[in-house]
A and B are shown apart, each in its own frame.
Chain A
């Protein structure tokens, strides 16, 4: 299908241009007038490259009551994402090349947002024996991680980095020291003590990041290729500082921050509602500000959702037993567009970069800009305000900490290589 998006503002990591007319012909962007099948009005809207989420839990195989590829990838498309990396902590974990290939095949068949598969770093995510990085890469894996588990054994992580590095795969880590985290369900500090809830101290994260950076140094010395370490869902001020120092020292390390750590703090737990139970936990305002600084100065490379859906009944358990996680694929962009750009003045091009080129760099993908001949994987963003209504989510998780918030910047049209995967216009 040939499409004309008329009079639209063009926005990518390099900045804003336009307004102008954009043609989508044979899955590519063109600025040359051509006959079209359909015209979409772009006035007052932004056209941006499609978003890439580095960190989504799509729960297939094994936990389809929480989410499956169909619901999860549709939720992604509704959120302006054209590409999603699924985490391997499924049942069973994705630790074999066949599992990677099967998932990719299912993702392709659905024809929604594109599925990229992260495979486990260790067999069964048990942290003991590393997986077959070369074969996983050949089967299409884009990243190795034991996300959800905390890689307690430094020697195994070092081996994994050396092995994955040889095949050009980044290794992503859930940076928390399990022994310091204990059974914490919220940030440890004055508030957790006042509320009488077991706390997870910020040092559980920073102590582990410090160790992982040293392991990376060691792996770099051992390696033939170039190991790359990616730190997931950064949540603490000290964690940001450690990453900043490491990057200054030239270490091949990247980091992501989530929409919830960027917009919510531990204060939400005053409601004693497991809706806000997430790992790592929501931290303090000071930590949140440090994350925002990290976004601005490049310490944080990407916004990643850590979309973690659960059933309503599971989330209605008590704070000790309810599972960790917040679903956010459908609201991530409007949320940060509103809270960081509209309210805080974060440069819009930087915000878009954090959803596009930033995460692409983590995976070693080339940047995607709005230029003649570029792949037409795009999102059309409408600044008109709209209320967050979880009951209308495509995700099976129809609850949200942002329910009722009025947000601007909703994706109204999402194209993958010129194919419409979501539209409300």
Chain B
């Protein structure tokens, strides 16, 4: 593994090895002094061309817990329109000796382009609608903790599938681990086809006998774009409620990549219930990202 861009070409074994490391990292994070010297001397840059707080903090903590130096660069996408160049930004960081780049951008493909320009490892921190691989890894890791194995498990992803990089990355990763993935959402927010995934506008069909449900964040601008008639209609048809979750298996768990629109995608009381793994996802995010950085930086030196 030289870069983490998406899961094209990944094997189940590689994912399992990574999770093995993530479990060790969880132990580190459980200690009173949550720091190891594993990445001492390495420099990790978070390069965010699209704003994000949670993902950035998660990556920066992950790097610091392993003693890496961390630098961060952020530019609003508006400054890109003014002609600021991705390439120049990355080459500047490269010249300063950065070893790994966590790149987030509103356009699909920017991390892929970056691999043509820099020698360091590139981690996709979310690119357009394309992929958000570390989110999918932490989701899968959290699901494995809760369900033991994903073999033959039915996972329902609900909401705006069309614009979701989280859905796309999960749709690549979860089947690799043996899960059956269903995606449900409003017809205008469903793609025509996604590989390895069942698509349906019918929430009940997706929830039926599901082992886990992942609600996606609904971007309110989809309504302005005319893709959704109204928020009340969305809530009426697609909100995950305790009542609806009864269609799923009794042990079924709830995930959400955050930030959550409370009482829109998920009923508030359900979000706070013990079936909700939302905070566990955030917690696991740091351990999984530590594992990713470790594999890319130490793994490639060895």
Which residues of A are interface residues toward B (Cβ below 8 A)? 189-190, 193-198, 271-274, 313, 316-321
Contact = CB atoms under 8 A, between A and B. Distances in A.
A343 to B, nearest CB: 29
Name B's interface SS: loop
Nearest to B132: A196
Interface string B120-141: 0000000011110000000000
A317 B128 contact: no
Contacts of B165: 196
Contact of B128 (A189, A197, A271, A273): A197
A18 to B, nearest CB: 47
27 contacts: A190-B193, A193-B162, A193-B194, A194-B194, A195-B108, A196-B108, A196-B130, A196-B131, A196-B168, A197-B128, A197-B129, A197-B130, A271-B112, A272-B130, A313-B87, A316-B113, A317-B85, A317-B86, A318-B86, A318-B105, A318-B109, A319-B107, A320-B107, A320-B108, A320-B128, A321-B81, A321-B107
A195 B130 contact: yes
A193 B191 contact: yes
Contacts of B94: none
B125 to A, nearest CB: 14
B192 A273 contact: no
A319 B131 CA distance: 14
Contacts of A321: 80-81, 107
Nearest to A318: B107
Given A317-B80, A317-B86, A194 B195 contact: yes
A320 B130 contact: no
B66 interface: no
Contacts of B85: 313, 316-317
Interface string B76-91: 0000110001110000
B110 interface: yes
A136 B165 CA distance: 50
- Most chain B CB atoms below 10 A, which of A194, A196, A198, A271: A196
A316 B109 contact: no
Contact of B113 (A190, A194, A318): A318
A272 B105 CA distance: 13
Contacts of B129: 196-198
A22 B112 CA distance: 53
Nearest to B105: A318
Interface of B: 80-81, 85-87, 105-110, 112-113, 128-131, 162, 165, 168, 191-195
Nearest to A198: B129
Given A196-B128, A197-B128, A197-B130, A319 B109 contact: yes
A193 B168 CA distance: 9
Name A's interface SS: loop
Contacts of A274: 109, 113
B122 to A, nearest CB: 12
B142 to A, nearest CB: 23
A216 B106 CA distance: 41
Given A196-B130, A197-B129, A273 B80 contact: no
Nearest to B8: A270
B217 to A, nearest CB: 16
A191 to B, nearest CB: 9
A245 B131 CA distance: 43
A190 B197 CA distance: 12
Nearest to A271: B112
A316 B117 CA distance: 10
A272 B193 contact: no
Contacts of A196: 108, 128-131, 165, 168
A198 B163 CA distance: 9
A251 B295 CA distance: 64
A273 B81 contact: no
Given A196-B165, A196-B168, A273 B193 contact: no
A190 B108 CA distance: 16
Contacts of A319: 107-109, 128
The 4 closest A-B pairs by CB, nearest first: A272-B109, A196-B129, A318-B107, A193-B191
B86 A320 contact: no
Nearest to B87: A316
A190 B87 CA distance: 30
Contacts of A273: 109, 112-113
A272 B127 CA distance: 11
Contacts of A190: 192-193, 195
Contacts of B192: 189-190, 193
A180 to B, nearest CB: 14
Contacts of B113: 272-274, 316, 318
Given A194-B168, A197-B129, A316-B85, 19 more contacts: A190-B193, A193-B191, A193-B193, A195-B130, A196-B128, A198-B129, A272-B113, A272-B130, A273-B113, A313-B87, A317-B86, A318-B80, A318-B86, A318-B105, A318-B107, A318-B108, A320-B108, A320-B128, A321-B107
